Structure 1
Amino acid sequence: MNKPPRKKNPTFGVAVFIVVAILLVIATLFYNAIHEKHEFDSQNAQEPSVSSDAAAAANAMKPASGAAQ
């Protein structure tokens, strides 16, 4: 009636370790890509675009509404 003790399977532990390591590498790549994109966007957001320069020039050419004539 007594069952013999079950042997542990060492390959299961190795497989779990490999899967966790691969997921960690993928997560690191995603984190670095998102971080670099935010850094790139913050550096390029400081420079005004051509369309905003054109809009600012067009607004400067308009006479102020309600100006004395």
Structure 2
Amino acid sequence: MNKPPRRKNPTFGIAVFIVVAILLVIATLIYNAIREKHEFDSESPQVPSLASQAAAAANAIKPASGVAQ
């Protein structure tokens, strides 16, 4: 009538360990990439983009509003 004790499945524990290890590696890679991007952005001078240069040139060509023509 007594059931034999249920054996633990070691495969499940190993699978959980592997998944946690992979998630830890991915999180570390993302953290390092973000940190290095911030370091790079703070070290390099800010270069205005081509679009902002074009907008500045267009504004310089336009006459100011209210100027007699």
TM range (shorter): 0.5 to 0.7
Give, in whole Å, the separation in 2 of the partners of 1:50 and 1:15: 50
Amino acid at match of 2:2: N
**Offset, 1:32:** 3.4
TM, length-normalised to structure 2: 0.59
Runs of 4 or more above 6 Å deviation: none
**Offset, 1:53:** 2.3
Amino acid at match of 2:55: A
Amino acid at match of 2:65: S
Q: How many residues align?
A: 68
| Cα 1:32–1:19 shift into 2, 3 Å | same
TM, length-normalised to structure 1: 0.59
Q: Unaligned stretches of 5+ in structure 2?
A: none
